[in-house]
Structure 1
Amino acid sequence: MKGVLSMLGRELSKEFVLGAGEQIKHLLSPQDEHDRNVVKKGLILYRQGSIYNVSTTSHTVSAKVQDVTSVQVELDLDDFVMSTCTCPAPSICRHRIAAFLYVYASVDRVGTFVDLWKEEKPIDDVLKHVHKASSLLKPEKEYEDSSLASWIAFFDREFESWYDQLSSPNQLFQSLFHHYYSALKKKAPKSPEMKQFFIVQASVTVFIKILQLINETKPTDYMLQHIIYPYIDQLSDNVAIAISEMKRYALPFALDPLLVDSVERFRELLFTSKHYQYERSNLYQLLWIELLRRDKFINIEREWLEEHLEDEKNHEPSFAVEMETALMHMDFLQSRDEHIFETMKRLTPAALPFTFHWVEDIMKKKNWKRMSGWMSYMMDNSTEYINSDLPFEEKRQVVRYMMQLIKQYSKATNDEKLFERACRNMLPLSYAEYHDFLLDKEQYRTWIELQTLLGFSIEEMDTYVLRDIEKSEPGVLLPLYVKTVKHEISMKTRENYKMAVRYLKRMKSQYKKLKREEVWENYILQLSDEHKRLRAFQEELKKGKLIHD
């Protein structure tokens, strides 16, 4: 919702919106019961999130309002009396008020408008005086720069304030990200390195708040996937960007106590909710790799996790898997890879993608010696993953990414055979990568075997690829054409006979390039004789000038 409102704020003049508010103040009186009900019901519709399909010009607004039935509202902010609605009301209705409040939210709090209307105070003048008065006040320090506890207390106060002012529960997660999160970032410390670490902590806090709200509101799967997930994804990206910015500066000693306290704070990602397990684990790993990679921090976390793991296994819901993964992450940070591989054996195949963050980190550091162990691990465990009961699309995405990692390693170590072996081992999920590899290396015979193995008919193969093969390596496609011709004839329809003749012509061309015309002549005569009872096929052979009377 915030994204739409900010867009409205850019397209509509604030003066027009406030001016329309002044007009409404004169058109509707808080002393009149009917007018009070119109504003009250309009406010309810707005808070229910009933306004949608909003579009604007410089001074007009078009919107749909969902009431008992859907109505179309056209607002004229320059002359509000000229506003219209498709409902039967003869004058200003609750729908026009709801649409106006939606627009008003792009310039100020809706509660401010309602309060000023009730008090019959000039909207524009009051706002000006409020801004002038606030500019004279010296703001109090809202948090201590060197205290993470102070930051978190500030985040919580801001959250309570945001929640109290929340206008529509239907826009809960959108408002949390666009209003609350944006407000936190605006209040970051001035020094560049502290500012970026503040943004990291603010992003982690909003991530945790989203998880807490999911637990409370129990959104649908559609909401989780299409509405909430993009915010989760963006928060993780923002953390990575902020950390990247931090690395441009020498980190101050003042950051050390904040990092110590971050050990416990970042741990909350493991336990706050069962939702977004992969994303929670990924963010936790990123924070440890980039910010807490010190033995003293690792030892603190390892000790806590080991102490609580067994007890956690008896809880419901259990976060034992998250703790196991976190312990493996501590192993990774201390290069205890063999211990990770042993632990992974106890987990389900679905845990494989959780290792990718570690592989990426090793790859980024170009530690090819250490990487070789991980390549062997992925190759050895890929078959179990491919044969698991996980959804096909999920497995395909994982294999696609795994193939990218293997390809990058193969290129860096000049071990092309490893990539080719991985392509074969991970079929059919690695079909696209193997397909491209074979064509790039001009291994056409193997490419044809691949198509045949996976059951592709010649009609399903790329025509341009087939032509390139015919030019580059004449004769390679002949066995495939023979098989296809046999299949088409067996269908015994005129259309299939025509298709058979089409492929026979290609065969004739290939034999000619190979200068083996006598082989072709023997083949076509034998084929014609074998099917001499199929009159329609004989006719198509003659039309195609493949045989003569």
Structure 2
Amino acid sequence: MLKLQIPKNRISMLARYLRDYFDTEQIEGGWEDFHKRRVEDIELKHGLEIHALVRVTKPYEVILDLESAVRSQCSCPEGEHCRHKAAVFFALYVPYGRPELLLQQLKQAILVRQRQQQTRQTNRIAEKKQQERLEPPTPDQSPSLWQRFFDQQFYGFSMNQQQSIELFYSSAKDSLTPYAEAWEKPQRDLYGLHMLLFVMRKIEQFYTETKSSYLSYYIETGCKTVARQCHEELQERLPQIDIPGIARSNPAAWKETLALIGESALAAKESPLSWSAVYRSIWWKMAPETKWVSDERTRIRKLLNAPDISVRRKDVLQLAEAHFALMEEGDEAARRQLEGLTRKEPRDFFLYLHDSYRQEQWERMLAWLRWLLPLMQKAQQEDLRQFCQYWIEAVQRQPDDTEWVDVMVALLPRTYHFYTAYLMRAGRYQAWIDLQLANRVSPLNLFAPDLTKVENHDPSLVLPLYHQAVERCIAEKNRTAYQNAMRLLKKLNGIYTRLQRQVVWEDYVYRLAGKHARLRALQEELRRVKWIP
């Protein structure tokens, strides 16, 4: 295709031009045009210009200036630095090496250049923010100024290690808390709430911004862990905060607070945080302030009636409306409204289970648990764990555990660990054995103290468990499995001896050897321990 070879220093100059002025998309487009043989009629004119045609949807004339590459031209409408210039350059590079290797080198160099530019821009912004640095927060400032100060203190916090989120959480608490230590309690409580809201905002920001990072798994895991800690801390703080008192004494600051929470809670965006739970918890504490509650409920209804509302946002608003119904009319009214949700997530309703637990309203907790039961088959494992823990608390206050057992059985195998632990605590050893048999669990995989406890209670109970495990090991038909079968058989021998049923044991081994007479390796193992001749 090319019949001329330009000097090496000119090729190097053109390569630097692409490296310093083009982006990766333009470079890759040029490589594609070159690779598909769209570059034609290359010739040297006037000693210092390369003329060529690049035929894409239509032919474009490219002129590369060998004296000053920035003066190069193209007849396309794509702008000063286009893919067609890059395509001609790759064609010129052929006599000097492999263009595909140069493509990778240029892409790497462009990536480094872009990162350096981004760093310089970040540094300029940081310098500007440093010049505009706010004074430390004071109790008479608005919450929005507190939030700006928090942002400044942690501007540019680096997500460069696996524990970055956890470090941010502890650092924010340690550095921001002391500013309000000497304040009066109402303002100190409000400040503490805003500090927690700031941490939650930043967690959401980190979660969104690092999805393409090589540390994304660790950042996402850290965000979810710290989000859970924030929710727990909020539940601990709220009973100690006189929210109606703050709303009456400082309505402007409280209005800002509600606006900040409402903006995050009602936006229906993806987040590791349950902003809806925060929103409902705060408004629950506002129940005595009927005017505030009435105005907010009216606002929610207007938002629900807005045209072209998305399904996800409608669910969020219906959840809020149902909560106000609960506050004013009771749980049944809320559950009726919640039936209209397109998608129900169990974690959205744990707020009511927690409140029932805190107030020791066990029948109310059971009502919510029964309502949630149909959702649990497809619930996430963490949600199922919390659901089971709440039900364990409720069942301890009931005359019998029949309903609890029915629920555990209905949700098997996902509830296996909860159910088996409960049966062991309740001393229901026969049911415990039946559960292991149904799930085909080998005694070798069970918690040894549990198995010992059942055996000490009644050795005969564990016999079917060992018999089943022996047959399953033999069915695998390999030497390792046969050795495991021998371990189980030795245990069986000990149990039969303890029960003084040696005749039954000998008959069992005789029948077992006869049943599997063709398995030579198994027969060798049985002879080795002298159970068969």
Which TM-score bucket, shorter chain as reference? 0.5 to 0.7
In 1: Cα distance, 2:191 partner to 2:398 partner: 40
2:274/2:348 contact within 8 Å kept: no
| Residues 406-442 of structure 1: per-residue CA shift (max 9 Å, x gap) | 1111123344333323322222221111111122223
Q: State the one-letter code of the partner of 1:199.
A: G
| Residues 291-329 of structure 1: per-residue CA shift (max 9 Å, x gap) | 4554333322221111111316x1469522221111122
- Counterparts in 2 of 1:447-526, with a 5 A limit? 447-526=432-511
| Residues 328-374 of structure 1: per-residue CA shift (max 9 Å, x gap) | 22122235322332333333565221000111112211223323321
| Residues 126-168 of structure 1: per-residue CA shift (max 9 Å, x gap) | xxxxxxxxxxxxx9998784xxxx61453366478x38x9577
Matching residue of 2:409? 424
In 1: Cα distance, 2:418 partner to 2:174 partner: 41
Q: State the one-letter code of the partner of 1:457.
A: S
Matching residue of 2:297? 302
2:210/2:219 contact within 8 Å kept: no
1:498/1:540 contact within 8 Å kept: yes
Equivalent residue for 1:409, pick from 372, 376, 394: 394
Farther-moved stretch of structure 1 (332-341 vs 424-433): 332-341
1:485/1:504 contact within 8 Å kept: yes
Q: Please tell me whether residue 334 in structure 1 is matched to residue 328 in structure 2.
A: yes
Matching residue of 1:270? 265
Q: State the one-letter code of the partner of 1:155.
A: W
1:292/1:298 contact within 8 Å kept: yes
| Alpha-carbon distance, 1:249 to partner | 12
Q: State the one-letter code of the partner of 1:308.
A: L
Matching residue of 2:40? none
1:231/1:500 CA distance change after superposition, 3 Å? closer
TM-score (norm 2): 0.62
SS of the residue 2:183 aligns to: coil
| Alpha-carbon distance, 1:525 to partner | 3.1
| Residues 69-103 of structure 1: per-residue CA shift (max 9 Å, x gap) | xxxxxxxxxxxxxxxxxxxxxxxxxxxxx9xxx9x
In 1: Cα distance, 2:137 partner to 2:448 partner: 67
Higher relative CO (CA 8 A, sep ≥ 6), structure 1 or 2? 1
| Alpha-carbon distance, 1:512 to partner | 3.2
| Alpha-carbon distance, 1:460 to partner | 2.5
Which has the greater radius of gyration?
A: 2
1:367/1:264 CA distance change after superposition, 3 Å? same
Matching residue of 1:154? 145
Q: Please tell me whether residue 543 in structure 1 is matched to residue 522 in structure 2.
A: no
In 2: Cα distance, 1:294 partner to 1:197 partner: 17
In 2: Cα distance, 1:448 partner to 1:527 partner: 23
- Counterparts in 2 of 1:171-190, with a 5 A limit? 182=175, 186=179, 190=183
Matching residue of 1:200? 193
2:408/2:415 contact within 8 Å kept: yes
In 1: Cα distance, 2:392 partner to 2:416 partner: 14
| Alpha-carbon distance, 1:219 to partner | 7.1
Matching residue of 2:316? 322
- In structure 2, stretches of 5+ residues that fail to align are 1-108, 110-118
1:213/1:376 CA distance change after superposition, 3 Å? closer
| Residues 19-59 of structure 1: per-residue CA shift (max 9 Å, x gap) | xxxxxxxxxxxxxxxxxxxxxxxxxxxxxxxxxxxxxxxxx
In 1: Cα distance, 2:329 partner to 2:168 partner: 42
1:177/1:206 contact within 8 Å kept: no
Q: How many residues align?
A: 404
In 1: Cα distance, 2:499 partner to 2:169 partner: 70
Q: State the one-letter code of the partner of 1:276.
A: S
TM-score (norm 1): 0.60
Matching residue of 1:396? 381
In 2: Cα distance, 1:176 partner to 1:524 partner: 62
Matching residue of 2:43? none
SS of the residue 2:461 aligns to: coil
1:543/1:241 CA distance change after superposition, 3 Å? closer
Equivalent residue for 1:361, pick from 355, 358, 366: 355
Equivalent residue for 1:445, pick from 430, 435, 439: 430
Q: State the one-letter code of the partner of 1:345.
A: E
Matching residue of 2:371? 377
1:181/1:270 CA distance change after superposition, 3 Å? farther
1:155/1:176 CA distance change after superposition, 3 Å? farther
- Counterparts in 2 of 1:26-175, with a 5 A limit? 145=140, 151-155=142-146, 158=149, 162=152, 166=155
1:294/1:368 CA distance change after superposition, 3 Å? farther
1:445/1:236 CA distance change after superposition, 3 Å? closer
2:436/2:465 contact within 8 Å kept: no
In 1: Cα distance, 2:135 partner to 2:491 partner: 84
| Alignment root-mean-square deviation, CA | 4.6
In 2: Cα distance, 1:492 partner to 1:169 partner: 55
1:341/1:438 CA distance change after superposition, 3 Å? same
